[in-house]
A and B are shown apart, each in its own frame.
Chain A
Amino acid sequence: MPDFTLSPDLVLLQETVRSFAAQELRPRERAAEAARGIDGGVASACETIGLARLELPESLGGAGLGALAGAIVREELGAGDAGAALALDPLGPVLYALRDFGGEDALRAFALPVLEAAGARAILVFDAMPRIHTEGRRAHGTLPWVPADRADLLVVLERERAYVLRDSIACEPVRGTGLRAAGASALRIEGSPVLAEWVSTPCARRTLAHARLHAAALLVGVMRQAAEFSRRYARDRVAFGRPIAHHQALAFLITDMAAAVDAARLLVWEAAWRLDSGLAADEACASAFVECAEASMFVAPNALQILGGHGFMQDHPVEKYLRDARALGLLLGGIDAARDDAERDLLGIAGPVDLGGDDPQGELHAASS
């Protein structure tokens, strides 16, 4: 029977990260933004929870958790401070690229050094354009923005291959729309040696699916927090003799924001469950990213609107949620690249269209047609 219940371990993890986010991240979100980084105390608190090694295989000293665990952790961190969430996760989606293309050897060679160097950051870019070119064994190009102030490792993902860069990458600080706690730079790659290169379309798809889910889960957290903050504000703020939440235009807006957050979360969970169960998941992950990015563009601006002029001022966090959400949705080629993948999946479907959840496509439909 369809069952959304999380295992006791996951509930514990969720609660732990939720209180970490509430106690350590949210109170410092403005300070972290101004400082373009998180303070050492927060980083070491995070270290104790082991957030940086959650999805790393156990053989390499990680917790070996799956995509659902990752999604749950990232929602909570995103609800605390999405920029800090990136800063606290030095490998980020680079983990998926190294793991899926290169296996444990690649993780050992490239991931572990990043985890061991204090403050190091590895960056994954999806470069379908491409903006970075390789010639011989060297890469050249520029990236206008990555949410980091340093790039100790850069993995460039294309539709059919991935390659690893480390040296000759110049970071030029930029202001950044959002996610500033993670930093913000333009990257100039000038003849950077290609340290490893793999060609595999299935691996590229898989990495992209995991990476999209990574960003999508952070977006769920950001929009949940935006919806929640504005909901509480609307209950307290009085205009025309009653709480503004009781004016029906706002009441209905608030219900629709809640529904948008829940729908987005369920799509993320379903996609994560597919990844963890070994079911086809590329389209589900792309669709989850589209949903999260689009829903966050509905929820976050309206959260600001509910606070009126106060929302525009930086005394309240909602303008930051809006900037963070907008920035997250630009990662990995943004909404349109994900839509391309979601949409192309339909080309391969001959009969009824699988809506997900169960695997009726494979089994139920086959049995009846």
Chain B
Amino acid sequence: MDLRLDAGLRTRVLRVRALGRERMRPLGLEADRLGRPIPADHPFFAELVRLGLGRTRWSGEDAAEPGGFGARAVVVLAEEMAYWDRGVAVAFPGPGLGEAPLLSLGTAEQRERFLGPFRTPDRPRWGALAMTEPGAGSDVAGIRTAAHREAGGWVLSGAKSFAANASRADWIVVFATVDPGLGRDGHRAFVVERGAPGLGDFHVEHKMGLKAYESTSFTLRDCCVPDANLLGGESAYDRRAGFKGAMRSFNATRPAIAAMAVGMGRAALDESHAFARANGLLGRPRIRDRLANVRRRLRAARLLCWRAAQLADERRPNALEASMAKAVAPAAAFDAAMLGMEILGEVGGRGDSLVEKLFRDAKAMDIVEGTGQIQRIVMARQLVDLPRDREG
């Protein structure tokens, strides 16, 4: 057992730290003040691309497994990014949440066509993923966006909710169903490209926090998608296990999302600790005790993230551990921010401090990528064979 970071990762953390302090945090505060996402043509994004960021982790090899960063490095860096600003981190150009299904489901041709432009992007480019609908979030099997086959392609109709970066994306991985009665077996994943006829009504939601990136709802009205954009092609869906196996890779992102929560909680802890010191509150044992509780819980959450990531790096099953990290970290982060508000008191109530922003930002972490309740369902399947309500 050795919990040290190696030299390479350490250097990368320091680089993120510099970028975070100098650019991400100020931009996040500004977006929060203005109450709108950072525009896609903001020079910061072009600067990131020049720095070599905003790329796919796909190496270009014809391998389903992504190369590059290991899960632990991703987790450590995700925590650091979110420490400075989680909203800005999600706004970063790149294939985003759409990358995982492209890597696990996509054919070689599809990976090349959709991830290729992200290898050395000429300009800021985004990808997106749209699963959630007005009528179905946690209950993924209940999505209603319909996919009908027609000559040479597919026609999609339905509505999607809250998809990050969707209105600025080159493409959106859209999940639809060929038959709602089939649950997950009826699902198909399509890459819907910007400008596809019938893709529209983009509505950038007004959120409580995380304002720096857009969460966008949109509709698909008889939106035509060519055959070649069905992820993995028809054959991927013949064997149910194939599709489900691919979807399981979603679990790899849970430790990273959990780590982001740890980063946000750490920011709240540092801010409120500094505030307490500057305002003579650190002399009060009750204040220190509550801060120490937050610190301890965040530390435990960080260790849970690292452990889940190590299992992923070792290609060992981690459904239980990944969900455990995701169930624990957001609550610890939110409590850190709630305590921060209490320590700031009326200064927090003014609504213009970083702690107050973190309080509004952090709540989302228990909702995105599977709510805390859904994480517990996943854990209970492992621990007590909790049956699925519906074959999904």
Contacts and interface: CB of A to CB of B under 8 A. Distances in A.
B284 to A, nearest CB: 10
B72 interface: yes
Given A353-B266, A357-B303, A4 B1 contact: yes
Contacts of B238: none
Interface string B294-323: 011011111110110110010000001100
Interface in B219-278: 262, 266, 269-270, 273, 277
Contacts of A359: 4
A262 B72 contact: no
Contact of B1 (A273, A351, A353): A273
B303 A263 contact: yes
A3 B282 contact: no
B93 to A, nearest CB: 25
A270 B3 contact: yes
Contacts of A273: 1-3
Interface stretch (B30-38, B121-129, B170-178, B378-386): B378-386
B377 A3 contact: no
Contacts of B10: 363-364
Given A355-B299, A368-B21, A349 B273 contact: yes
Given A255-B379, A266-B303, A364-B10, A287 B295 contact: yes
Nearest to B70: A1
A345 interface: yes
A356 B14 contact: no
Contact of A2 (B72, B288, B385): B72
A263 B380 CA distance: 17
B296 A235 contact: no
A346 B282 CA distance: 8
Contacts of B299: 267, 270, 287, 355-357
A339 B289 CA distance: 7
A235 B5 contact: no
Contact of B385 (A235, A267, A346, A358): A235
A247 to B, nearest CB: 10
Interface in B357-379: 373, 375-377, 379
Nearest to B270: A352
A287 B298 CA distance: 12
Nearest to B303: A266
B328 interface: yes
B3 A287 contact: no
A8 to B, nearest CB: 12
A291 B294 CA distance: 11
A347 B282 contact: yes
A355 B376 contact: no
Contacts of A231: 383-384
A256 interface: yes
B292 interface: yes
B9 interface: yes
A273 B2 CA distance: 7
A254 to B, nearest CB: 6
B324 interface: yes
A3 B1 contact: yes
Contacts of A262: 304, 307, 321, 324
A259 interface: yes
Contacts of A367: 14
B266 A342 contact: no
A342 B304 contact: no
B380 A2 contact: no
Given A251-B376, A252-B376, A353-B266, A259 B324 contact: yes
B299 to A, nearest CB: 5
Interface string B323-342: 01001100000000000000
Contacts of B309: 2
Contacts of A6: 1
A291 B380 contact: no
Contact of B327 (A1, A251, A254, A255): A255
A1 B9 contact: yes
Contacts of A269: 1, 303
Nearest to A342: B292
Interface in B53-81: 70, 72-73, 76
B373 A252 contact: yes
Contact of A263 (B269, B328, B384): B328
A5 interface: yes
Contacts of B327: 255-256, 259
Interface string A227-266: 0000100110000000101100001101110110011101
Contacts of B324: 255, 258-259, 262
B240 to A, nearest CB: 24
Contacts of B70: 1
Interface string A272-299: 0100000000000001001100000000
A172 interface: no
Contact of A243 (B270, B291, B384): B384
Contacts of A267: 296, 299-300, 303
A47 interface: no
Nearest to B17: A368
A244 B239 CA distance: 34
B208 interface: no
B303 A254 contact: no
Top 10 A-B residue pairs of the complex, sorted by shortest distance between their CB atoms: A245-B384, A266-B303, A263-B300, A255-B379, A343-B288, A251-B380, A343-B292, A342-B292, A2-B306, A287-B296
Interface of B: 1-6, 9-10, 13-14, 17-18, 21, 70, 72-73, 76, 262, 266, 269-270, 273, 277, 282, 285, 288-289, 291-292, 295-296, 298-304, 306-307, 309-310, 313, 320-321, 324, 327-328, 373, 375-377, 379-380, 383-387
Given A2-B310, A263-B303, A363-B10, 17 more contacts: A1-B73, A2-B306, A3-B1, A235-B384, A246-B387, A255-B380, A266-B304, A291-B300, A343-B292, A346-B282, A349-B273, A352-B270, A355-B298, A355-B299, A357-B299, A358-B3, A364-B10
22 contacts: A1-B72, A1-B310, A2-B3, A2-B76, A3-B2, A4-B306, A245-B383, A251-B386, A254-B383, A255-B380, A263-B301, A266-B300, A267-B299, A269-B303, A343-B288, A344-B288, A345-B292, A347-B288, A351-B270, A353-B270, A367-B14, A368-B14
